[in-house]
């Protein structure tokens, strides 16, 4: 189970989210950004911009209560204070990698992080350094035992740079949090077709079906109909990604509860 948390400025805590102890539960803190508060790029020096209620102590506490919980930092996201964030080709890629490694190592130590999620969402033409910089960063973080989990979060207009990253460094990428809700499919049958396309591109069982609470794409029970249809058609549903806990706070985390119930039942079936 993957759950983005802390991206919208809504005060939220980890312990408000229902967690089954029988499922690996990954909280994805949103976001760590290599920019200053005015969105000026910092050449790989990442700082935390997630909701301040998600403290380092609270990460320790939720892990102590639920040993199946891991915490990841999602890198970049769409914007900072309504300023659109973009991948910028660094003049010196190796310096960017070095800065990113050092700053994320410090964040991982401070917040007891287990991994990172890559969520750059805007790319200029000729973003040739993205795959190299991110792939080498993940490899270095894993080789130095800073992280144990790495995920990527492409969507329909960013498939190309993420596909290059996956093809070159897929062995160090654990899951693909593809944002299916951006494809705006609204029926179970359409979701199945789109899932088939994306899993063929991004390596089968690494792709997780995703859902945006009160958002775009498939909504409500139709999402769980889509999950059942995936199972019936031979796809391994190895998890679910939800965006986000912030939005679910107002509905009692209905979709988190139901998604975990589905995963437990499909695992034991």
Length of the chain counted residue by residue: 269
Q: How far apart are the first and last CA of the chain?
A: 18
How far apart CA 134 and CA 130 sit, in angstroms, is 6
Q: Token pair for residue 264? A: 């437990």
Q: Token pair for residue 70? A: 């891991």
Q: Token pair for residue 20? A: 């089954």
Contacts of 256 (CB under 8 A, 6+ apart): 1, 3, 17, 18, 242, 245, 248
Q: Which of 3, 51, 121, 136 is catalytic?
A: 121
How far apart CA 69 and CA 64 sit, in angstroms, is 9
> If residue 93 lies in a helix (H) or strand (E), which one and from where to where?
helix 93-111
Contacts of 45 (CB under 8 A, 6+ apart): 34, 99, 100, 102, 103
Which residue, among 120, 118, 110, has the nearest Cα to 135 in the 3D structure?
118
104 with 141: CB under 8 angstroms?
yes
State the number of CA atoms in the 13 A half-sphere of 156 facing the CB.
Answer: 9
Q: Is 121 a catalytic residue?
A: yes
Active-site residue list: 121
């Amino acid at each position: 189970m993957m759950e983005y948390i802390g991206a919208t400025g809504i005060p939220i805590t980890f312990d408000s989210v229902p967690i089954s102890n029988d499922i690996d539960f990954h909280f994805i803190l949103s976001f760590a950004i290599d920019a200053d508060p005015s969105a000026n790029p910092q050449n790989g020096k990442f700082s935390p911009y997630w909701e301040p209620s998600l403290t380092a102590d609270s990460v320790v506490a939720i892990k102590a209560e639920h040993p199946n919980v891991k915490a990841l930092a999602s890198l970049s996201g769409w914007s900072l204070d309504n300023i659109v964030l973009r991948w910028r080709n660094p003049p010196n890629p190796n310096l960017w990698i070095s800065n990113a490694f050092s700053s994320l190592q410090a964040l991982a130590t401070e917040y007891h992080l287990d991994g990172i999620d890559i969520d750059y969402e805007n790319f200029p033409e000729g973003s040739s350094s993205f795959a190299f910089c991110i792939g080498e960063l993940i490899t270095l973080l894993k080789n130095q035992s800073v992280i144990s989990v790495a995920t990527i979060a492409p969507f329909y207009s960013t498939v190309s740079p993420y596909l290059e990253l996956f093809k070159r460094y897929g062995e160090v990428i654990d899951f693909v949090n593809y944002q299916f809700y951006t494809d705006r499919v609204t029926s179970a049958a359409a979701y199945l077709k789109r899932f088939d396309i994306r899993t063929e591109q991004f390596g089968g069982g690494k792709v997780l079906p995703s859902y945006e609470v009160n958002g775009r794409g498939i909504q409500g029970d139709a999402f769980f109909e889509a999950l059942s249809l995936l199972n019936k058609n031979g796809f391994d549903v190895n998890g679910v990604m939800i965006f986000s806990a912030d939005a679910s706070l107002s509905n009692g985390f209905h979709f988190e509860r139901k998604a975990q119930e589905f995963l437990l039942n499909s695992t034991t079936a």
